[in-house]
Amino acid sequence: MAEPQGVQRGLQDVVALESRICFIDGRQGRLIYQGYDIRDLAARSTFEEVAYLLWYGRLPNATQLEELKGRFGTVRALPPPLVDQIDRMPIEAHPMDILRTAVSALAGFEPEETRPGASSIGGAQRLTAVLPSILAQFHRRRKGLPLVRARPELSQAAYLLYAVLDREPTELETRAMDVALILHADHELNASTFAARVTASTLSDLYSAVTSAVGTLKGPLHGGANERVMELLDEIGTPERVEEIVHGKLSRHERIMGFGHRVYKVEDPRATILREWSRKVGENKGDLHYYELLRRVEEVVHREKGLYPNVDLYSGSVYSLLGFPADLFTPIFAASRVAGWTAHVLEEYQDLRLIRPTAKYVGAVDLPYVPIGQRS
């Protein structure tokens, strides 16, 4: 057996597989989905187009796009027993726990043989369509709002705003939400996508793989950072306190959420786009409070640590301006990334290889077994 290589903690820089779905150039700060630059997609595409692109490897024509929009509209409704289950969960629960539980439970209400497309694109479309409905159902119940109408004519972005915030979104709000969904849709082998692929590599089903991914995304070193960025901003309060608070945290070797990245060595191109949307939506709402704080925080962190912002730095300020509470920010991330998770799961099924790295054992060996009566 080959001698195990040196340990690559966190699998840093380990090339685990070949994929056609997403390319990240960490040195140039470039992000590409199936050949298309994220800047073009954010400027000209929609989340529905991007989901199609991730699943099929090409942009849809007009008919294919309309069919996908129609499919999202028809399969976004929750089975009534799942609505009951969500309604029985404690309203104090974190929405990511609700999301993880509901995706897992959905599998139980849709046994594999009856699932729309099971472990195929049909299942990917079902899960992508239904995640916003799950987080909307939970949020509406904790707000005492009635069941939401499915509104099949609405895009994912518009439905997310309408269903959660209980109002008709403006064109600018819908576009801001759509761009955020495009930007979060995939990101190569990030931790939650890798978790989904590990699950799929055992030939487990799509719903189990997405359940693994939701649980992984929740972590503050991954998708949970956007919520913590807002906690930092609320702690800072005013531009005058940025220097003191951020410098203090850095001097205590604390992490500043929204900065740094395992792959990007320059600015995350998604942060560049979200910074602009934070300004645009802030100006539209007449509220640049978070935007201005974030600009100051950027200056201090870059000056003191040479770190750049990642996707999580500005996303929360956009979601907050749109009216979402901070504990829904990571669920919104999941409602987008489910397109990427499912694309990677389907790619794994097409070229299946059980993912099973090895560990360098550094524990004891050949210890004599001592009967319990002789142990201290």
Q: Which residues are catalytic?
A: 222, 261, 312
Residues 154-183 close enough to bind ligand SDX by CB under 6 A: none
Contact present, 56 and 68 (Cβ < 8 Å): no
According to DSSP, the residues that pair with 22 across neighbouring strands are 33
* Phi, psi at 118, each rounded to 5°: 45, -125
Closest residue by Cα to residue 205 from 306, 104, 310, 327 = 104
The interface region with ligand SDX, picked from 82-90, 155-163, 232-240, 303-311 by CB under 6 A, is: 303-311
Q: Exactly one of 43, 91, 221, 266 binds ligand SDX (CB under 6 A); which one?
A: 221
* Coil, strand or helix at 353: coil
The residue within the footprint of ligand SDX, chosen from 259, 277, 319, 329 (CB under 6 A), is 259
If you write DSSP's letter for every residue of 264-317 in order, what string do you get?
Answer: -SS--HHHHHHHHHHHHHHHHHT--HHHHHHHHHHHHHHHHH---B-THHHHHH
Nearer to ligand SDX, 154 or 183 (CB): 183
Instruction: Indicate whether 352 belongs to the interface with ligand SDX (CB under 6 A).
Output: no
Closer to ligand SDX by CB, 222 or 285: give it: 222
Nearest distance from residue 11's CB to ligand SDX, in Å? Answer: 11
Least separation in angstroms between CB 122 and ligand SDX: 25
Q: CA 294, CA 290: separation in Å to the nearest integer?
A: 6
Query: Which range touches ligand SDX (CB under 6 A), out of 80-88, 96-104, 163-171, 251-259?
Result: 251-259
Contact between 302 and ligand SDX (CB under 6 A)?
no
Of 127 and 158, CB closest to ligand SDX: 127
CA distance 108 to 30: 40
Answer yes or no: are the C-beta atoms of 123 and 178 closer than 8 Å: no
Helix (H, G, I), strand (E, B) or coil at 11: helix
Part of the chain binding ligand SDX (CB under 6 A), chosen from 14-22, 66-74, 125-133, 255-263: 255-263
Assess 187 for contact with ligand SDX (CB under 6 A): yes
3-state SS assignment for residue 253: coil
State in angstroms the smallest separation of the CB of 170 from ligand SDX. Answer: 27
Binding site residues, ligand SDX, CB under 6 A? 10, 187, 190, 221-223, 225, 255-263, 305, 307, 310-312
